[in-house]
Structures are given as C-alpha cells and as structure tokens.
Structure 1
Amino acid sequence: MAENNKKPAPGVLWAGRLEEKPEAEAFAFQASISVDSRLARDDIRGSRAHAAMLGEQGIIPRDTAAKLDAELERIAAELESGTLTVDAGAEDIHSFIEGILTERLGDAGRVVHAGRSRNDQVALDFRLYLKRTVPELMTELTETIIALLDKAEKHTESLMPGYTHLQRAQPVTLGHHLVAWCAGLVRDRSRFADALQRLDECPLGSGALAGSSLPLDREATAKALGFARPTLNSMDSVADRDFALELSAVCAITMTHLSRFCEDVVIWASEEFKFINLAESWSTGSSIMPQKKNPDFAELIRGKSARTTGNLVTLLTLLKGLPYAYDKDLQEDKESLFDSLDTVRSCLRMFRGMMASAAFNTERMEAACVGGFLEATDAAEYLVRKGLPFRKAHEVAALVVRDCVAAGQTRIADRTLTELKTRSELFGEDLYDVITPAACVAARKLPGGPAPDEVDRQIRVLRECFPDNVNI
C-alpha cells in the first residue's frame, strides 16, 4: 500500500476493541457512506423512535431522550436545507449521525445506541427507505398505465396485425396491444405492493443477532415507525434480505416488460414497418448518416433492463453462501437494489414521455392486415360453425392457403367460391363477409379478445384498479 495512504482512519463506532485501525485506503474500501448516505432521513427517524422508547422505558432519562429527539430533528432539517452535509470520510451514515450527536451533546449523544446494533439499525433504515420509495415507484407505474390506457382508448378500432414468432398471425387492434402492455404493468405494480406487505416488519431491537437484555419495547418502536409489527426472530431480522431480493426481482420483471415493449417500438419505428412515428424530441440522429432518426430512448430502456437483471443475480449470488446471521457481505445489498429502483424510476418516466408524444400510422397498420393470410384461422372456424371437426377444418384452411400461394394470391378472398369448394363444399358466399380484418376482430368478443367493445371493457377493468387516480 502506498506510503501516502498510511493515514489513520477517522473515528469509528467499534474503536474500543482494536488498537490498530485500518489505514485510509483500507478504511475507505470497507466504508459504505457513498451508498448509504441516502438513508440519512431514515436513520434519523429510526434513532428518534429508538430514543423515545429508551426514555419511556426508563433506560435513559426522559430529558436526555428529549434532547436527543430535538437534536436529531435539527440535524434532519440541516441536512434537508444543505447547511449540514454528509461527511464523505465517515464510515457509514449511522456513524456520521451518531458522531454529530456526540459532538453536539456529549455523553447524551453516546446513549442513543443503547439496546441496538448497526446490524438491526441498517436493516431498519433499509426497510424504512423502501417503505417510502417503493410507493413512489408504484405511482410512476400507475401514471404510466393510465397514460397507455388513455392512448388505447383512442385506438380500440385501429386495426393492426398481431404477431407470433414475429410473423403476422391474426388481426387485432392497437388498443388491444396497448392494453396487453398495461396488463403486465398492473401485475408489476401488484408485485411491488405484495413485497411492501412482507417487508412491513420492524427489526429494531434485534441487536447484533440475539436482541438485548435491556427492557426494550419493540412493539412500541414498531408502531411509532409505522410498521405492522416487530420481526419475529432476532437472528432472522439481521440475516434476512428476502425483501431486497423480492424487490430486485420485481424491478427486473418490470424492466423486462419495458424492454419487450420497447422492442415492439423499435420494430414499429423501422422503415419496414412504419407503424409508429416517435417525436423528434424522443429520437436522436446519426453522427455520419444525415437521414437517420433513431429510436434511441426505446433502445436505451431495452438496454438498461440488463442492469436490473444483473443486480438480481448479484443479490442472489451475494446471499447464497452466507451463514444465517449478519455478515459484512450484506453491506453490498443496497447498491444493487438502489440502482435497480433508480433505473425503473427513470425508465418509466422516459417510456411514458416517449409514448405520450408518439403518433401511430393507423392506415399503414390496417394495410398490413391484408396479405399474409391473417384470416386463415377465421376461415377454419367458419367451417367449424358449419359442423366440420376443427382438426379437419384446420387442414382445409391450410390447403386453401397453399392454393393461394401457388396462384400468387395473398388473401383467401382472392379465391373464387368455386375454387374454395374444391377444398370443402361447406364454403359459401357468407365466408367473404367474415374474413375481412375488421370482421375477424369484431368476431373475437370473448373476454380478453380484441373486439372494440371488449377492449373498452378491459380498459374499464384496469382503470378500476386505480379508483383514486385523478386522470380516471
């Protein structure tokens, strides 16, 4: 290690046991202040509740608890206003806050840690942070869903091809496609809500892993901090990072949805499709090709999904080999989850803005429904209604398609009725009325289908998930 790095580390909470402290570079390596500084308000909130409980339980004098509360409130206000900044040289946010308290209150500041460890303190701060930030993400999801539903509502009759294997499959509508996106995002939102319910337990009072011999009131602290209950087992309280895993997984799933939606957008924006025209403010040009208008925002969202997938794998790998208590490895839990939460938030905002300003070439979409035999399934189901078993009807429709291809025709409607009857006498003039793109869509009015009235119903159902949203 370089000589100029051999400076003593700043004061730390564990200074009493070790005579020799890590040198500056080693201290910085094991410090977490650069990551956990965003937990400052949560750390202060937890400390205020803990100090109040210590006072109520007679563990510290009530007037000392009051002094601690007042000073912690002052520190929070100073951090908020910027008159106090977090010391980047501190070991972590907990050490920094306690150091300020001790500097200002002397021995009164030194009592705040009675009955707790940084192990249960950081678990508490992490959960408090998530309890206030995850609902913000859910709001971002809600606003994105509502924006897409507003767009879908305008396009319940805008015909377009539906694709499987990226091959034209059956006619649907743009509204139906956008509602499909919304259905995925609604599930994402519910997963965030489920994860919030499971993390709604207060670990404070669990200590390092075995609780405390002091008469702490864990129920009172949990209630004061807005938790549903204290955690059940003190060792699990400090070992558990299931909540981080679960939220990391939800972030990865949400970003996978956004990535797939953006893949649709990138394809639709291509010269070959021309289904969507992204606003110039949501596109970029080329440094060498003057004609280019690139869907870079959609591509970046698609690319950033890899971050959240990687962050989930990071957490899973981090945890899989740890003994079931607190280990320093767990310090690595927050950076990856914070990154995933930040990524989801920014990508939802970008995606919502990009889609809100996008224009759709509905004429081009409808024209793409002609050719490619998207009506073949409807021809088969026409024969089923005439009494032919489906497997036989499927074969007949396939043979009709083969006849069309051989004749250079692109639609079943290009065949004469006489030609169609060579494949089945059940074909009649009424076939031509049921195999237009609009008729194919209108006929699919079962729950979940693309018929305009049914898509309107789906939109209403999804809107009912957000009864308090002002945009509904």
Structure 2
Amino acid sequence: MESGSDMKGLTGRIKESPHHVWKEEVLNPQLRYEARHFLSYYLWIEKALLVEHQRLGLIDRKETVEINSAIDKLHPDEVLKQAETHLTDMAFTIEGMISDNLSQPVIAWHVDRSRNDYQATAQMMYMRDHLFDIAVQLSELAQVTLNLAKEHVETVMPGYTHYQAAQVISPSFYLTAFLEVLMQTSHRLLAVYNEGNGCPLGSGAMAGQELGWDRDQLAEYLGFSYPVHHALSGVASREWILRISGELSIFATSLSRFLTDFTQWGSNEYGFIDLPDELSGISSSMPQKKNFPILERIRGRTSHLISIHMGMIVGQRNTPYSNLVEVSKEVGTAIPSLFQTTESLLRLLTVFMSHLRFLKKRMRQACEKEFLGGFSLANALTLKAGIPYRTAQVIAGKAIASSIDKGLLPTEMKAQNVKEVCAEYGYEINISDSWIQSHFDVDQNLLRKCSSGSTHPERVREMINRSQQMLTELEDEWSECRIEQQKAEKTLNDILKS
C-alpha cells in the first residue's frame, strides 16, 4: 500500500476521504502539532513494540532488523509531508512510511494495537521530558537567588504587612522565602513525576490487549517506572497533566505575589531595587522615567499558566471517562503552551534575579523613618516592667503616636513620653532615653529576632545553607530520573542492534 492514498486502504466503514474543511481546520493542524512535539516519542514507542512483537513470535529477527532500519530513516519533514498528502493521521503515516521501506509486507506487524494507548504514551513522554527541563531551570533560578541572598544577610530593609511598613527584615530573609517556593515547587513536581510515571502502552483501545504483551517490559523500555495498572485509565485519564498544570498554577500564583513586591520596590516611591539599562524600559512621552517592564511581563505570564490549568480542567469536566479526542487532543493542544510559558517565565526570572541590585542606603532610610521597633518596645515593657502584654501594646502605641505628633524620629523618642503613658495606666517605670531609642535601632531590630526562620543573620544563614542542601538533593534526584530514561533508550537500541 502506498502511504494510504485514501481512506479505503484503512477502513471498510468510511468510504470517503476527509472533507477539506475538516482537514484544514483539524486534521492537518493536529499533524503539524504531533510532528513537531511527539514524533520522536512515537518512534521510540515503535521500537519498543517492535522488540515485543519479536518476543511474542509475531515477527522474526530479520524482519525486526529491517523494520528498525526503516524507523531510523524517518525524517520529521518527510513524515509531515506524507501525512498531509495522504493519511492525515500520524500513526497511520508512520506505519505507511515504514511499510513502504520494507522489502516485503510483514503480516503480523501492528496486530493487536491501538492508536489510543500509543498517543497517550507519547503525550506522557513529552510531558516527562519537559518536566526535566523545568527542574533544571528551577535549579538555576534557585542558585542565582542563593548567591544574591548570601550578599545581603545583614542588609536592612522594611518588611510589610497590610501594605504598611511593619518590621525590619533583610533582602536575604525575603529571598529565602522565595527560595522556599522554588524548592517546594521542584519537590512537588518530582513527587508528581514519581507517582505518575506510569506507562499507558498496552492498554489498547480501552479494554486491554488480546495477546500476552509484557507491559512491565514495555514500560521499562520507554523509561517508565511501571505500567498503568488499569487499561481504561491508561487511555482515559489525563490526571497527570492536571497535576502538573495544577502545581505550575500554584507556583505561578505564589510567584505573582513576589513579583508584585519587586514591582513596587522598583517604583520611585520605594526605590529599593534597580536593574541595568539593558533590562529596563523607557516612556515614549515621559523622558524622566526608567521602567522595569520585565517584571510586568513575567507577572503577566503567570496568569497564562493559571488560565491554561483552568482550561484543562474545564476541557475534561463532564466528559465520559474514556478515550476522547476532546480530552486527549483538544485539551492536549495547550500542553506545549504550558511548558513553553513556564520555561520562558523561568528564563526571564533568572535573568532578572542575576541582575537585581538592592539599594542599601534607600532601604535603610526607609527603616529609620518608621517606628519599626514598636513590637520590641511592647515586649520590653512586659518583660522589664511587668506590664501585662496587651496593656504594654497600648502604651507603646500611644507613645509612638505622641512622638509622631511631635515630629520626632524613632531614634529621638523620649523616655519621659513613655513614662507619662505608663502612668496613665498606673505603672511607674525607670527607663532612659537610650533604652527607649535602642528598641528603634534598625540594626538591633534585625538582631533581636532569634527564633529559627527569623531575620537574625545567623538564622538566615542557616536557611540559606538548608536551601543549598535541599537544592543539591533535588538536583541529584532529578538527575537520577533522567539517567534512568537515558539508560532505557540505550538498552532498547542495544537490543535492536545486537
């Protein structure tokens, strides 16, 4: 058979070739999509099935060698050309082109096979490879962030709650929170990979195979951890991609919050960060402006990840639990966009973080003009003078408000002011101006927090070291998974060559 000049060579049920609109709007775009993204995986699957055909005694060694040689000769451009010219289906096209390169027909080749599990397996393999790429990018971003965090352990800046300056923190303290998100995302994606690395191949159309396929061996040839245990789930379930898109949408949501902070910190009102000119933008009408559109672009792309995830959920909702092109192909068309957007976002963010500069003087000035030691003063009034804590909070608040009314800076606050407020509540305390003012010393505020996970430089260094260790462990685990895949492909090729 020529690569299928019409549908008559493929089925007795349908007599006519596809309508030109159907081909132009659906079949040909699907072919281009699969040729671009899945062809290499289809050919890997063909080789695994080839070895299994030989094991089952369906084909002999000579036929195996000839078919494998024909597989190796397939070129993506030619496959796409043949598909669009003739079959409008990738699986049929591959089968036809291989058959055209054989010296004689191989009767039992392709017996007891279905496109359903074939396509589901290729889709899984594609997603799996892109998970590896994302893991590498997350690691690179984490390392750049770690390097930046190490530089600013003792640099002070305001921390905010409810959009108001609240306590003294450091850029490193903030960045280690960002690192937590990166580590958690990589860890959760690894969990998704390990739990979902099941091979659909051998599920057949939906009910399994009639021959005794060794599904464990097929899974091993393709680098999977195990075969999907239920045939219907093998072709119907797309839960794995929902879990991946779900984790990426959670990451995108968290990331958008950090990006909002960075965007605000880059404004004139804050002036906490700066970027070099090559990562900055200008205004067409306001020459004084230096914009940071890279942050807007990255944050904008986080919305795409969330919308892709929601689209995939909606696309599957209320569909029958079976193999459907609505689920496997219509919903599946967003898979490349999911990974491309994530990879682009991470690349941009890594560039941003590697060029980010914190403006120490401006951040210190912002700390020094705010009464960020109010929490410390309230604690001290309780611990030193025995004032009940809630009353101490009120006293500290009133004393700060009085100082603000008098136009005093935090380091100019007077002991007499605090004594007077204490007296209103029936407490007499012996304190000095220096004692009061020490609680508003910016550097001391950074040091006063001493619990694990706090702003104290030593605690921050511990978090940096822990993040570095976690990063190394994650990199090793992801590397082991990728090596197992590479070993599987090499083993399969060695079997076919031996």
Q: Do the two structures share a fold, i.e. TM-score over 0.5?
A: yes
Conserved? CA contact 2:79–2:93, under 8 Å: no
Select the residue among 175, 197, 206 that pairs with 1:200.
197
In the alignment, is residue 22 of structure 1 matched against residue 25 of structure 2?
no
CA 61–149 in structure 1, closer or farther in 2 if over 3 Å, else same: same
Aligned-partner Cα distance in 2 for 1:95–1:278? 53
Report the equivalent of 1:3.
none
Identify if the C-alpha distance between structure 1 residues 110 and 196 changes in structure 2 by more than 3 Å, giving closer, same or farther: farther
Maintained 8 Å contact 1:283/1:294: yes
Q: Match for residue 71 of structure 2?
A: 72
Deviation at 1:449, TM superposition (A): 0.5
Q: What pairs with 1:225-240 in structure 2 (closer than 5 Å)?
A: 225-240=222-237
Question: Which residue number corresponds to residue 485 of structure 2?
Answer: none
Cα deviation, residue 348, structure 1: 0.7
CA drift at 1:333: 2.7
Residue 307 of structure 1 is matched in structure 2 by 304
Matched, 1:422 2:420: yes
For 2:34, the equivalent position in structure 1 comes to: 36
Structure 2, unpaired ranges of 5+ = 423-427, 477-498
Write out per-residue CA displacement over residues 303-349 of structure 1, whole angstroms, 9 at most, x where no aligned residue. 11111111111111011111111112021232222211111111111
**Structure 1 pair 426/242, CA: closer, same or farther in 2 (3 Å)?**
farther
Give yes or no for contact 2:149–2:176 (8 Å, CA) kept in 1. yes
Structure 2 counterparts to residues 60-459 of structure 1, below 5 A: 60-75=59-74, 78-79=75-76, 84=78, 86-87=80-81, 89=84, 91-105=88-102, 108=105, 112-330=109-327, 331-386=329-384, 387-411=386-410, 413-424=411-422, 425-426=428-429, 428-429=431-432, 430-459=435-464
TM superposition shift of 1:63: 2.4
Amino acid paired to 1:391: R
Code of the residue aligned with 1:39 in structure 2: it is F
Partner amino acid for 2:342? V
- Alpha-carbon distance change, 374 to 108 in structure 1, aligned in 2, over 3 angstroms: farther
CA distance in 2, matches of 1:359, 1:106: 66
Query: Residues 189 and 71 of structure 1: is their aligned pair in 2 closer, same or farther, counting only changes over 3 Å?
Result: same
Tell me what 2:495 maps to: none
- The answer as to whether partners of 1:155 and 1:175 remain within 8 angstroms in 2 is yes
How far residue 163 of structure 1 moved from its aligned partner, in angstroms, is 0.8
Q: 3-state SS of the aligned residue for 1:183?
A: helix
Q: CA deviation at 1:161?
A: 0.3
CA RMSD in angstroms, aligned pairs only = 2.3
> Which has the higher mean CA deviation after the structures are superposed, 84-93 or 115-124?
84-93
TM-aligned CA distance change 1:390 to 1:94, over 3 Å: farther
Cα distance, 1:212 vs structure 2? 1.2
2:7 touches 2:14 (CA, 8 Å); kept in 1? no
How high is the sequence identity, in percent, across the aligned residues?
26
**Separation of aligned partners in 2, 1:65 and 1:284:** 59
SS in 2 for 1:158: coil
Report if aligned partners of 2:7, 2:16 keep a CA contact under 8 Å in 1: no
Which SS does the other structure have where 1:17 is aligned? coil
**Distance across 1 between alignment mates of 2:161 and 2:282:** 31
How far apart, in 1, do the equivalents of 2:362 and 2:281 lie? 23
Contact 1:94 1:118 (C-alpha < 8 Å) held by counterparts: yes
Residue 393 of structure 1, CA deviation? 1.8
Q: Which amino acid aligns with 2:299?
A: R
Tell me the secondary structure at the aligned position of residue 271 of structure 2. Answer: coil
Paired with 1:10 and 1:303, the residues of 2 have a C-alpha distance of: 46
CA contact (8 A) 1:383 1:427 kept: no
1:58 maps to amino acid: G
Alpha carbons 2:49, 2:218 under 8 Å: kept: yes
Could you tell me which residue of structure 2 aligns to residue 5 of structure 1?
Answer: none
Rounded Cα–Cα distance in structure 2 between residues aligned with 1:241 and 1:426:
68
Do the aligned residues in 1 keep the contact of 2:414 with 2:436 (CA within 8 Å)?
no
Which SS does the other structure have where 2:367 is aligned?
Answer: coil
Give the C-alpha shift of residue 12 in structure 1. 9.3
TM-score, reference length from structure 1 = 0.91
Change (3 A) 1:384 1:64: farther
| Alignment coverage as a number of residue pairs | 457
Question: Which protein has the bigger helix share?
Answer: 2
Counterpart secondary structure, 1:105: coil
Structure 1: how far apart are the matches of 2:281 and 2:108? 57
Whichever residue aligns with residue 403 of structure 2, its letter is C
Query: For the structure 1 residues 171 and 29, does the alpha-carbon distance in structure 2 shift closer, same or farther, using more than 3 Å as the test?
Result: same
Separation in structure 2 between the aligned mates of residue 246 and residue 416 of structure 1, nearest angstrom: 58
Aligned residue type for 2:130: T
Q: Which residue identity is paired with 1:365?
A: M
Counterpart amino acid of residue 342 in structure 1:
Q
CA distance in 2 between partners of 1:42 and 1:105 (Å): 21
* 1:68–1:112 Cα contact (<8 Å) kept: no
1:15 deviates by 3.9
Structure 2 CA distance for partners of 1:64 and 1:273, relative to 1, 3 Å:
same
Change (3 A) 1:34 1:390: farther
Shift of 1:463: 0.3
Inter-partner Cα distance in structure 2 for 1:441 and 1:34: 58
1:95 maps to amino acid: F
The offset of 1:9, in angstroms, is 9.2
Counterpart of 2:168 in 1: which secondary structure?
A: strand
* Cα distance in 1 for residues equivalent to 2:337 and 2:8: 27
Letter in 2 for 1:193: L
Code of the aligned partner of 2:66: K
Distance 1:242 1:9, change over 3 A: farther
Q: 1:72·1:101 contact (CA, 8 Å) conserved in 2?
A: yes
Q: CA deviation at 1:283?
A: 1.5
310-319 or 90-99, which deviates more? 90-99
- 1:210 shift after superposition: 0.5
Q: Measure how far apart 1:107 and its partner are.
A: 6.1
Tell me if 1:55 matches 2:54: yes
Q: Give the whole-Å Cα distance in 2 for the aligned partners of 1:264 and 1:347.
A: 17
Alpha-carbon spacing, 1:416–1:49, altered in 2? closer, same or farther (3 Å): same
